[in-house]
Structure 1
Amino acid sequence: MTTPSIAYVLARDCFKSPDNVRTHSDPSADAELKANIAASGFLLENLIGVRVSRGARKGQVEIYGGGRRLEATRANIDEGALHPDFMVPALIAKNARDAIEMSLAENFYQLPMNPADECCAFRMIIEREKKSTAEVAKRFGKTETFVLGRLRLANLADPVFAALRALEITIDVAKAYGSTADKERQARVFEQVQASYHRNNPNEIRRLLATGSFCGADPKAMLVGRDAYIAAGGRIEEDLFTDAGSEIWRDGEIVERLAQEALETAAQAIRAREGFAEVRVVPATMIPYSMTYQLPRAIEPEPGPLSPDAAERQVEIEAELATIEEAAQGADDYSPEQVERIEALHAELVAMMPKEAALTPAQKAGAIAFVMIDADGKPRLHDSFYALEDLSAEDDGLDDDDMTDEGGEDDAGGRDPGAWYEEGEADGAIAYSGRLRDELAMMKTELLALHVANDPQFALDLAIFIMVDKALGTGWTGMPSELSARAATARVHGYESDTAAARGWTQFEQGLERAWHDHDTIEARYDAFCALDDAARAAWLGWAVARTINAVPDGHSGSSFLTHLGAKLGIDAVRWWRPTARNFFDRLTKPMILGLFELIGGLALKSRYASSRKFDLAVSAEKLFAGDVIADADVKARALSWLPDEMRFGPDAGPPSDDALTGGFDDEGAREPEAAAQSGDDAASPAIPQAA
C-alpha cells in the first residue's frame, strides 16, 4: 500500500462513494454527530478518499471512509451552521482498493468507549472547562438530562462504579443505582443483591432502593399530592433517567399518614351523605381478604322503587292480565286479540322495571362500607357492602394461644412465650420486638415460597389442600394462606335442582375420599391428604375449582366464557337437560308455549293443543319435548334437539337417544352401570369425572 497523504479540501468538492463500506446508520447518532460538528467547528477525524482523475467529477474527492461525517458537514453548510467554503481533512489514497481497505480497518478496529470512562469524561469537561451542563449537551448533540445522568453515574458509590468500569454491570443497571444520590444506600443494595438472582435486574434494584418510599405515580402519592407532601416536610429525589412519575418520595411515613387522613376525611363525608352504619378506610387499591372474610355476609343491592306513576300502572296491568286470564278460562282459549294484548302488557311491565340496583336506606343503615384508593389516586367506595355484626374475641382471627391480656400474661399469671415483648423485657430469655418478629416471618416465608415455587407437584398438592380445607370449614381461621375456592353465591335464593347434572354432582361429592379430614390439626389433615392417591387428590381439585363457577345469565358479562368452556369440554346440553313443566314450561305463558309447538310442528301441532288449559299444556309440552308423544319422526327429532339458547354450549348436535336423555342416571339419581362404563370411551355420552 502506498503511503497516503492528508489534504484539506472543500466539503462541497467531496461526494460519498457508492462503495463506502458503511451502509447502515442510526438517525439519532447521526443527529448527535451533526450537532457536535456544528458546535466544535471542525471534524475530529479525517475522511478517507481518492481523487477523481477523469470524467465530469475530475478533481473532486470520492469518499470511501467517513461518509457520515461528510453528510453531517454538508447538512450544517446547507443550514448555515458552517461556511460554504468549509474545509475538511481527507486522507488521499492512491486508488479505491487502498481506500476501501483503510475504511474497513477504521471501522473494524473501532473500540466503543468504556461507559465509566464516558461518565468521567463528561465530569472532567465540566470541571476543567467550567462549562454548564447545557453547553456540554449542545456540544455533543445530547439532551441536558443525558449529561446530568452521566454526571450522576460518575458519582456512584465506589463498588458500583468499579463494577461498571469492569463491565460487570450494564449501563441500565448503573442507571438503576443512580435513581438515588444516597451512596451508602447504593453500596448497601449492591452488596445485598450480589449473590442473588436479581443482581442484574434494574427494576428489582430500583425497588430495593425505594423500599420505604413511593414513586410519584403510586396511587397513594397521587392521592396525597406533591404540594401537600412537600408542605408536610417530605423529600423528593427526582430520577434523572425516567419521567416525573418515577421520582422518589423518600419519606414514606409521611405519604402513609397523609393518605390515611385523606381517606378518613372522604369516609366521614361518605358516611354523612350515604347513611352507612360504618365506613372503614383501606389505604390500598384492593381490599385485603383478611378484612372481609370474618364479616357475616355481603349485602345484595335491591332494585330501586318504582315511581308513583309506574307503581299505579303496574297495579292496573296486573288487574287487566287477571281479567284476560279469567275470560280465557271461560272460553277455553285466548283470542288473537287477547294474545296480542298480553304480550304488549308484559313488554310494558318489563320496560318500567328499574334498570339499576342499589342499597336501600335501611340496608345502608346496617352496612359496612369500605373506602379505598383507585388507580388514579382518588378515594373510591368499594362495590361490596357487608352486614354490620359485632364479632366476639373468639372470631377475631387469633388462635387461643394468642389471646393474652394487655400485660402479656396467660390465664395462670405467667409470661406468655408468644407475647411480643420489647427486647430485654422477657425474663431469662432473648425477646424480640414486634417489628423484628414481622421481618423474620417475612424472610422465613420468602424462603418457603421460593422452594414451593420450584416444586410444582408439591405446590399443586398444597393448593388443593388449602382450598379444600378452607371450603370444608375447619381450617378457615388457622390457615396461613390467602388461597381459597369459595362456593359461588346462588343466583336464585332457595333454588333446588333435580336435573341429571345435579344428581351427578351429588354422587360425585359422595364418592370423594373424606377420611383425611377427620384429623383435628391442619398439619395432620395435610399429611393425610398428601397420602391419598393421585386420583383421589385430583377429584378434590376438580371439586374445589368447579364449585367456584358463578351462574351468569346469557348475555351478561362472563356468560360467553362459560359457553366457551362448555364447548371446549364437548358438553352436549341436550343429553343432560330437557325442559319440563317444573323447570321451564310453568314459567311461560300459554301463548309462548303454543309458539314453541308451532316452531316444532307448525300450525297443525299448535292448533291441536290450542284449546288446552295452561296446566295441561305445560304437561303436554314436557312430554312432547321428551319424545314421549306419538308424532311424526321429523317433529319428534326437532323436539328432542330443541333447547333454549341460554342452555346451549355450542351448535345443535342433533336428537339424543332415549337413554341419554336422563344423563345416564336412574330414577334414584345413581349412575347406571352401562352409562358409567361408557362415560370414558363413548364420545357421544356425557363424561362424568369419577371420584377414586
Structure 2
Amino acid sequence: MAKANQKIAMNPSDNIAYDKLVLSQENVRRVKDGVTIEQLAEDIGRRKLLQSLNVRPVLDGNGEETGTFEVPAGGRRYLALGILVKQKRLAKNEPIPCIVNRSATTSAEEDSLAENVHRENLHPLDQFRAFRALSDQGLDVEEIAARFFVSAATVKQRLKLALVSPKLLELYEQDEIRLEQIMAFSVSDDHGRQEQVWERISNNSNMQEPYYIRRLLTETTVRADDRRAVYVGAEAYEAAGGVVLRDLFEQDSGGWFQDAALLEQLVFDKLKLDAETVRADGWKWVEAAISFPYGHTSGMRRVYAEPEELNAEEIARYDAVKAEYDALDAKYAEMEEADQEIEDKLDQLGAELDGFSDRRHVYDPTQKTIAGAFVTLGANGQMQIEAGFVRPEDEPRVETDDDDEEGDSEDRDASQSEVDSGNGVVVNGRSVNGTSDGAEEPEDEGIKPLPDRLVFDLTAQKTLALRNALASDVDIAFVAVLHALVLQVFFRFAKDSCLEISMTSNSFGQVQDLAETPWAKEIAERHEAWDRDMPDSDNLWDFLLGLDEANRKALFAHCASLALNAVVEPWNRRPGALAHADAVADTLGFDMVTAGWEPTVENYLGRVTKARIVEAVREARGEDSAQLIDHMKKDLMAREAARLLEGSNWLAEPLRLDVDDAVADAGETVTDDEPDDADRDGDAELPAFLVDDADPSSDESTIGTGDEADHLQAAE
C-alpha cells in the first residue's frame, strides 16, 4: 500500500507585544542598503505593517520558552517599530503580527538568509507602471515622491518612462531592449516615431547606442540653445502651440523645439516687429534676417554714432573738475609721503571725468535719413543691430560744373566750331593741318581755354616727372599706395587717388556661416576699429601722413590682406596665384592647424564620401582606427571620425600647403608634433560600443543622476 505524502503545516501566526521581541544576533543583514530605517518607520506609521516579522522563541537553559522572541528575519521592520516607540507613536506593548517558527530543522541564520535571498526585487517596468497608476489616481509628483522617499525628479523620470511605446516596453520586459535605450526613447512622446526609429536600428547593434537614438528622434527638431529658439523663447513657442521635447536623464540644454516650421515663423514675426521698432528710430531702411551672408555690407559706406555733445553747463563743470584734478595731481607729485585723503579725492575726480567721456553715443539725424540698419540674430540668440550703412544710390550727389555745361556741347554748330582731330583743325569741313591758310584768325575778347590735346601732352610730361620723383622717395610712395588702398577698402566709390591701382576683395558670401568663424570676427573687429578713425576722403591724405610708422604699416597690412584670394574655383584656373598664396603662407609660418581648424561633421566630414572619411582617419590615426569605423553608416561614421581626429592635426587636402602635400604623398601626416605610438597603433580612446571585449555586465539598470541610489528596489 502506497504511503501518502505528509502535508506541509505552516508556522502559526501570532500577535506578540513589541516589548516581548528582541533583535536576533543571527540576522545576516549587516550592510545598510535601500530605504533607510527612518524612512521605513515613516512608511509603517502611514500604512502600517505590510509584512509580518519572522520570530523564534527564546529558550532558557532547560530548553523551555521564556515568553520572549527573537527576530532573525524582519530586523529592519523591528528597528523601524522601535523608532515609532521612541517617538511615542506606538505603545511598548502594541501587538505585532509575527510568524512563529519553532522548527529545529532550520537555524535562525538560515531563516534570515532565505528571506533575503529568495526575495526578487521589483522589475523597473513594474515600478514605472505603478507610479503611472498612482498618478492616474490623482496623486501629484510631490506626493508620490514623499510617500516613496525619492526625489520629485525621479518620479518624473519614471512617469516619463511609463509613456514610452507599449511595444518597446514589451521588448524591454523581454530583455531585448536595455533600460538606457528606453531612457533615450523617452525624449519623444510620439509612439509611432519611437517605433519607426527602433525598426531602423534594430538590426544594427552599432546604431543602438542611446545617444544615436536621441539624435534620430530629434533630427527634425531645433535645439533649445539654438539662436532661433533662444530669441523666441520657450514660453512664446509653447503659447503658440509648440511642443518642447525634454530629456529627463541627460543634460539637454533646455530640450528640443519639435515644430521647426512654427519656430521659423515666430522668428520672422518677431524680427519684423523688432525691425519696425529700429526703423522708427529714424533710419531710411532696415533689413532683417536670421543671418546675413559674409560681406553683406560690401560696397556701403558706414557712419558711426558719436558721443553726445556737452552743453554749456557740462562744459563748465568739466573744465572745473579737470583744473582741480590737474592742480591736485601736481601738488601730490611734489609730496614726499603718501596721503590717502588726496588719493581718494583724485579717484573721485577721475571717476567724474570718466563720466564725461563715457557718454551715450548717438547718430546724426541727418545721417539717418540716408543710412540704414541690418537686424539679425547673434550666436547667443540676442538681436543684433548693425547700423549706419549708406547704400551707393543713397549717397548725396555732388554738383559739378560738368553738370551745368552738359547740354552746351549738343547745341554747338559743328560747321562753325573748330574740332581737334589730332591731325589738325577742321574748319568748315576742310582740314588745314592746324594752319590758317594764310589768313589770321580773328582774336576773340578774353583768353580761350587751352586745347584738350595740349593739356594732355603737358600733363603726360608732369606725370612722368612725378613718377620719377615718387620713385626716389620710398616712404611717400608707401603712403601713396596706402592712400589708394584705403580709398577702395573704406570709401569704395571715391576716385581721389592719382595711382591707378585696382584692388579686388571677394566677400565669399555664398559660404554658409563664414561670418561666425574666428578669423572673420577678428577681421571685422579690426576693420571697424580703423573705420571709426577714418576722416572723409578729402582729408585722408593728411590723416595718413599724420599716422606713426607702426600704425601706417598696420593699416597697410589690413588693406593688403583683404585683397588676398586663395580660393579654388573650377571656372577660374589660376595655379600661379594659388602657388603664390602657399609661398606667402610659408613665409608667414602659417598653417591651418595653428590657425585653429579641426575637421568636424559640419565643415568637412559630413560633406564627403565614406571613403574620404575612412582615409582621413587612416592618415591621422592608422589602419586599426580606420577599420573601427569602416562598417558604419555615414552619419555615425562622420561623428566617430570627428572624435578620432580631434587633436590629430590632420588637414583636408585643400588646406595643406605644397610642403604638406609632399609629406602626405610620402604616407605621413603633417602635424606640429608626431602622433604617439598609441595613436599609430590605433589605440585611441574609443566609445564603449566600439570595444570588442566590453563587459556586458557593466550595463546597469539605472535611472537618473544625483545622490540617491539609482537601483530600483522594493521597500524592504
TM-score with structure 1 setting the length: 0.45
TM-score with structure 2 setting the length: 0.44
Kindly name which structure, 1 or 2, has the bigger radius of gyration based on alpha carbons.
2
Larger RCO (alpha carbons 8 Å, 6+ apart): 2
